[in-house]
């Protein structure tokens, strides 16, 4: 049999999806599973988006421009200007999700064995895209104790080698919910200039910011126009994960021209999804306000609930809809499986995403999980209660197992 490549062997399984088969199995057996593991919002997309697709008048389903509908790019530019990000449609290239935006970006700016510095815990698929691109992630660990704030610039400088091509952040962060401050963005910008690096910011959660804080985009830093690359998507903003529309935004013309070659090779982004995305941009202000209010209320319920469970630690997330939670356990992977297979409260259980998959070194974050607060408040309360009861029982069983192990050893 011909062989699988080394890069493919190194490709990670998704820590969010790898337990899906087990989850499907227990659901078939009659359990209800509250999904705290995946950032799949339950919120409806703007009705404008769904209707636009219903009313489509296409007779021929042609390729679109490789860089996306011009009308969509123009509307996106207007959207950014509203966010105080001054770009024109020429600075925008439409992609098949932020996933493709990041793959194109890595293709444009790195060669095999190059390095990018990423604050960890990071969005697990960054590891997949880097492996696919045959480059190395150099992780800089942030900790729960200071809410996953940016590492010091000195620590960043220690990571820089002649192979370093970029710094990649997610702002607000998936999985930590941390919102980078304007000051932190300015520090990173200075660093990018000093070492002539690209600064890539994944800003797909831009709107989801709480506690009267403001999102500050790297594109608002004029000094780094040639360095700044924003990766974006409609998946979370409009709860349109299934559309698969994202974009790359950069004032660096040579970068956008280069990315266009990658876009041409795969022909075009999906047409129906572009129609939906263009219409979504017509959503009234109230859509954003209501959505953010919903997430904020959920966050408050979640964090308050979690903090009442003995031994659980959580940093208040200021943005996005995730948080990293430290649990009084040794192995979140085992705990997650146990929750699905063994535990239930009236045939209900929860599914978590073990956090180790969000660290470069999978031996980190073993006692942490990522929780996505994408359930309505009543379900969220039930899920927290299940988690509380589960931790009680698990810690008893765990110490018992340990005891047995010691006897048998």
Q: Where are the beta strands (DSSP E) in 182-311?
A: 198-202, 228-233, 246-249
Residue 32 three-state SS = strand
Which tokens is 366 given? 């073993």
Q: Looking at beta carbons only, is 103 or 209 nearer to its own copies?
A: 103
In which residue are the tokens 């704030």 written?
Answer: 149
- By beta-carbon proximity to its own copies, the closer residue of 27 and 81 is 27
Minimum distance, C-beta of residue 286 to its own copies, in the bound complex (Å): 18
Choice between 42 and 397, CB closer to its own copies: 42
CB closer to its own copies out of 1 and 409: 1
Q: Find the shortest distance in angstroms from Cβ 387 to its own copies.
A: 23
What is the distance of C-alpha 176 from the center of its chain? 9
Nearer to its own copies, 59 or 378 (CB): 59
User: CB 112 → its own copies: shortest distance, Å?
Assistant: 5
CA distance 26 to 348: 10
**In this complex, which beta carbon is closest to its own copies, that of residue 116 or of residue 369?**
116
d(CA 133, CA 300): 39
Cβ(136)–Cβ(183) below 8 Å: no
The helices-and-strands tally (H runs, E runs) of the chain is 13, 13
CB 198 within 8 A of CB 256: no
Q: Minimum Å distance from CB 8 to its own copies?
A: 5
Q: Which lies closer to its own copies via its Cβ, residue 128 or residue 177?
A: 128
Q: Tokens in use for 326? A: 């430290």
Q: Are strands 246-249 and 228-233 parallel, antiparallel or unpaired?
A: antiparallel
Supply the minimum distance, in Å, between the C-beta of residue 214 and its own copies: 28
Q: In Å, how far are 214, 389, 396 from 402, measured between CA atoms?
A: 48, 20, 10
Nearer to its own copies, 56 or 330 (CB): 56
CB of 248 to its own copies, least distance (A): 13
Please report which residue ranges of 145-250 form alpha helices under DSSP H.
153-159, 182-194
Q: What's the rounded Cα separation, in Å, for the pair 385 and 246?
A: 36
**Helix (H/G/I), strand (E/B), else coil: 196:** coil
Exposure letters 126-139 (e unless 16+ CB within 10 A, then b): bbbbbbbbebbbbb
- Residue carrying structure tokens 């293709």: 107
Q: Toward its own copies, which CB reaches closer, 61 or 289?
A: 61
CB of 69 to its own copies, least distance (A): 10
Least Å from the CB of residue 268 to its own copies: 7
């Amino acid at each position: 049999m011909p062989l699988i490549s080394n890069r493919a062997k190194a490709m990670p399984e998704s820590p969010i999806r790898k337990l899906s088969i087990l989850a499907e199995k227990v659901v078939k057996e009659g359990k209800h599973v509250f999904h705290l593991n995946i950032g799949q919002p339950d919120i409806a997309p703007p009705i404008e988006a769904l209707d636009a697709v219903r009313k489509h008048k296409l007779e021929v389903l042609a390729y679109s421009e490789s860089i996306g509908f011009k009308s969509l790019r123009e509307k996106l530019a207007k959207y950014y200007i509203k966010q105080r990000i001054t770009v024109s449609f020429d600075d925008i290239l439409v992609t098949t999700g932020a996933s493709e935006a990041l793959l194109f970006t890595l293709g444009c700016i790195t060669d095999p064995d190059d390095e990018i510095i990423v604050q960890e815990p990071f969005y697990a698929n960054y590891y997949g895209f880097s492996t696919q691109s045959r480059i190395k992630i150099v992780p800089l660990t942030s900790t729960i104790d200071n809410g996953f704030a940016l590492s010091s610039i000195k620590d960043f400088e220690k990571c820089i080698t002649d192979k370093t091509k970029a710094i990649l952040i997610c702002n607000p962060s998936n999985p930590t919910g941390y919102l980078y401050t304007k000051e932190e963005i300015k520090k990173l910008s200075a660093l990018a200039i000093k070492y002539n690096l690209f600064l890539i910011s994944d800003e797909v959660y831009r709107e989801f910011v709480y506690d009267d804080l403001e999102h500050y985009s790297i594109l608002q830093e004029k000094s780094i126009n040639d360095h700044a690359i924003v990766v974006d998507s409609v998946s979370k903003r409009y709860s349109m994960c299934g559309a698969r529309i994202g974009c790359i935004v950069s004032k660096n013309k040579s970068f956008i021209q280069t990315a266009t070659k990658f876009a041409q090779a795969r022909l075009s982004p999906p047409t129906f999804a572009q129609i939906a995305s263009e219409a979504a941009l017509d959503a009234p202000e109230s859509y954003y306000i209501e959505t953010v209010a919903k997430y904020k209320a959920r966050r408050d319920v979640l964090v308050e609930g979690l903090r009442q469970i003995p031994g659980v630690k959580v940093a208040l997330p200021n943005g996005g809809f995730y948080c990293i939670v430290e649990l009084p356990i040794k192995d979140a992977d085992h705990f997650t499986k146990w929750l699905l297979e063994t535990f239930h409260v009236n045939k209900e259980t929860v599914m978590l995403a073990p956090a180790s998959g969000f660290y470069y070194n999978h031996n980190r974050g073993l006692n942490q999980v990522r929780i996505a607060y994408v359930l309505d408040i009543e379900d969220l309360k039930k899920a927290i209660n299940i988690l509380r009861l589960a931790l009680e029982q698990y810690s008893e069983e765990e110490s018992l197992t340990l005891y047995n192990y010691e006897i048998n050893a």
